[in-house]
Structure 1
Amino acid sequence: MRKTMLALTLTASILALSACSDNNATDNEVIATTKAGSVTKADLYNEMKGSVGAQAFENLILKKAISNEYEVSDKELKAAIKEQKESYGENFEAFLKQQNWTEAFFEQQVELKMLNEKLIESLDEITEEQIKAEYEKMKKEIHARHIVVDDEKTAKEVIAKLKEDGDFAELAKEYSTETVAKETGGDLGWFGPGKMVQEFEDAAFTLPENELSEPVKTSFGYHVIEVTETRDVELTESYEELKPGIENGLKKQKFEEALANLVSKVDVDLKDETFKSVLEGWQGTDK
């Protein structure tokens, strides 16, 4: 349930994973030999799939999703690459060596940065009203519990049982897909804004105490939420001091929402269940 900001960056090792899909090579192609045996392209892929595969898959899908909506022309890319190289001057080769990058990978990084910038430029500006609203939320903490299930029908079934005086903790242990609910009965403890995924937070912070929410859809499933207590928080910093951080957080939120929408538009058909949870994290966000 805790919110995670996923950075759209690629490392050299991650990009190498995608390079393993080179159509000019076969899975059994030997890329190194040793006295103890050969290393094939398939060996490399399987090794990297287990270590950096999830992050690699996520980054590659996000890059494809952005490039489906925004385009970096050859002219733009060549100009940006030239500018970046010139900024390093005679130290460019040393920079590549230090990063363990090839020049081709460097150019892909430039393209990725430009795609990100085009997406960011398309986002609406954060308003003063939005920042102030977030600031007001920071003055409050809530103690909540939830039951998360796979579908809306089951969530409504849980709500019906709770309204018939069903025990929340017991129903959480019975129904919730969250493993930790078996121990906590769905209790999330005290938390403030910025700690949960946005859909959950929006619903929880507007929910009166001891009232059940309607099913709330997030990337984790459908939640039934109950706020058991609220308390005021005394902020030690002024609005002006906190404003830059709040604004940055809202920008990141908008960026993630935009990425989720772009992923939904490209209609990913997953062929490898290894990365199912990664894809669900983006496809489950319904904006």
Structure 2
Amino acid sequence: MKKWVLSLTLAASVFGLAACGNSAVVKTDAGNVTKDQLYTAMKDKYGSSVLQQLTIEKVLSKKYKVSKKEVNAQVNEAKNQLGTSFDTALQQYGYANESDFRNSIKVGLLEQKAAEASIHPTKKQLKDYYTNNIKPEIKARHILVSSKEKADSIKKQLDKGADFATLAKKNSTDTATAAKGGDLGWFGAGEMDSAFEAAAYKLKKNEISDPVKTSYGYHIIQLTGQKEKQPYSKMKKEVEKKYKESKVTTEKIQAVLKKELKAADIKVKDDDLKNTFDSILSNSNSTSTTSGSSSSSNN
């Protein structure tokens, strides 16, 4: 999903100040800072980016709907992954607060849905995707540490019969799962780090992996459950959904935005912001994604 760095909270503040006059926001012995001065400075710094985001949300919302449940699912996933680091991570990505993050998630989901609507897979493409990419859900637990030496030490303890959950609670730096003995619950293909996922799917039930390196550190993984793969007939809708998700690229999103914004006949009334949408509307690298052939080339 696209990460928007500028906050919609800021956007509301910037444009809410318009035509507010010269009343002081700050008073000092050296002179005052007026609302007009603040508005002008904020518009010069953030105006184009914020106006672009607000307009995209308005245009796409006319055709595509994002529910509160969908936004909550994304936010809760982030909270589960980040644990107590959630608020710090929001600040690092430039979000003002959780509300700002939710607005960003909504815009990203609108773009995702708009791009997916332009992808029309054939039956063969879907069946091939089912065969090659759909895996049964598995359940696992893990212990995450920062060094290979620490991971090796924990693996040796486990090989000697130490309790996995106890070691996870004591050692795992994944605070969101450590308290649960490292339990990650059920997950499917494409939901975890690729190296983690590859290692987990190679395990037999109750088998414990050697240390697995990912961008998060070193994992010791134990497979605790595995479901059977359901037949294609029962997974048809899910397969199509996952197929479309896998084909959404930055280029597809840019192409869809260009098409939707042109159709919306945007007219920017503020001369200072008149070039806001030039980067999207004049994007010559965007290619049409309205036919099935565009998605088949990505198989």
TM-score, normalised via structure 1 length: 0.45
TM-score, normalised via structure 2 length: 0.43
